[in-house]
């Protein structure tokens, strides 16, 4: 039970027409909510959120990805979709939740706005509205992935505290590691969060990866008495970000795809079985929870 759950669930309800979902859910009940977070921007959160969401959907889960950077949205851009103001219209109850979704099979996306003056000037509380969206959608999906804003703003902390799991993304630079530790520290001290997951992005070699994991894991354990579940690393890819995204989303046989398969496999083994004892694994077989030594 989350310390802040009572006040987090205060509602800014929006109008929503009833929607029929005829496809069979893999998980009957509340969706598993994962926030993809970081202390510092530019670490690859959005790309990772998209890849994880699409891989889960391709496995058969019904997945909702929400871009929580409400007025600096990038998810639609990375998918080549046109920019729109649907999120602002949803907040004003001009459009329904279902009308604002981009749907691609079992992958659904609620993107946000880009520089909307109307959204900027609204007096509505964005994080409480997003919690309201989650509450109303969580019985319709197997997973809800939150592409959380970077940093330690109140909105970011609220969304991370509400989520069932937090995937904290760091890169091999001191500011990323330091800022992510600050995020973990405040989540622990102010919200009582004691367990998070770690993804190390843009890894150059195994020794670098091991140093980062050792430094951050030991610091979190020694100073916060928290547990940091290590999911693994993603190799650094030279070249432009658009090229990286193209490889990430398009090539099922690439080393990047295999890295994400490993990440999801470890998460399923470490965490999901605690919620669903008979969970079907990514490889199609049921397995018991076990300790996994992650590698890049």
DSSP type of residue 252: T
pLDDT confidence of residue 34: 96
Q: Is 167 exposed, middle or buried (0-12, 13-18, 19+ CB in 10 A)?
A: buried
The structure's pTM equals 0.81
For the chain, counts of helices (H) and of strands (E): 12, 8
pLDDT confidence of residue 201: 94
HSE value, Cβ hemisphere, 13 Å, CA-based, for 291? 1
Q: Which helix (H) or strand (E) holds 199?
A: strand 195-203
Collapsing DSSP to helix, strand or coil, 23 comes out as coil
pLDDT confidence of residue 3: 41
Cα dist. 274→69, 267, 268, 288 in Å?
Answer: 30, 11, 9, 10
pLDDT confidence of residue 108: 97
- Report, at the CATH architecture level, how domain 28-275 is classified: 3-Layer(aba) Sandwich (3.40)
Per-residue pLDDT of the chain (296 residues; tens, 9 = 90+): 444 444 344 333 333 343 333 456 676 678 999 999 999 988 999 999 999 999 999 989 999 999 988 767 788 888 888 888 888 888 888 999 999 999 999 999 998 776 667 666 676 677 888 999 999 999 999 999 999 999 999 889 999 999 999 999 999 999 999 999 999 999 999 999 999 999 999 999 999 999 999 999 999 999 999 999 999 999 887 766 665 666 666 665 677 888 888 888 888 876 554 544 333 334 333 333 333 344 44
pLDDT confidence of residue 113: 76
| 196 phi, psi to nearest 5 deg | -145, 165
Dist. CA 93–CA 115, nearest whole Å = 19
Q: Which helix (H) or strand (E) holds 221?
A: helix 206-224
pLDDT confidence of residue 247: 62
Q: Is 36 exposed, middle or buried (0-12, 13-18, 19+ CB in 10 A)?
A: buried
């Amino acid at each position: 039970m989350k310390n802040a759950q009572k006040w987090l669930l205060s509602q800014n309800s929006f109008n929503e027409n009833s929607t029929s979902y005829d496809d069979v859910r893999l998980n009957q009940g509340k969706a598993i909510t994962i926030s993809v977070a970081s202390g510092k921007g530019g670490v690859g959160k959005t790309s990772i959120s998209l890849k994880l969401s699409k891989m889960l959907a391709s496995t058969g889960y019904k997945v909702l990805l929400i871009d929580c950077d409400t007025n600096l949205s990038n998810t639609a851009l990375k998918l080549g979709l046109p920019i729109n103001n649907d999120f602002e219209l949803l907040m004003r109850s001009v459009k329904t939740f279902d009308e604002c979704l981009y749907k691609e099979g079992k992958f659904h996306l609620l993107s946000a706005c880009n520089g909307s003056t109307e959204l900027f000037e609204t007096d509505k509380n964005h994080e409480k509205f997003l919690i309201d969206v989650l509450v109303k959608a969580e019985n319709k999906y197997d997973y809800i992935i939150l592409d959380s804003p970077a940093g330690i703003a109140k909105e970011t902390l609220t969304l991370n505290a509400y989520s069932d799991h937090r995937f904290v993304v760091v890169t091999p630079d001191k500011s990323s590691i330091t800022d992510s530790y600050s995020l973990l520290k405040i989540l622990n001290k102010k919200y009582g969060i004691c367990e998070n997951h770690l993804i190390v992005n843009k890894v150059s070699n195994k020794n670098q990866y091991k140093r980062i994991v050792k430094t951050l894991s030991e610091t979190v354990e020694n100073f916060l008495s928290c547990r940091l579940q290590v999911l693994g690393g993603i190799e650094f890819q030279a070249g432009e970000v658009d090229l990286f995204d193209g490889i990430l989303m398009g090539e099922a046989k690439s080393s990047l795809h295999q890295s994400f398969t490993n990440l999801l496999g470890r998460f399923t083994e470490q965490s999901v079985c605690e919620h669903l004892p008979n969970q079907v694994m990514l490889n199609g077989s049921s397995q018991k929870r076990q300790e996994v030594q992650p590698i890049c």
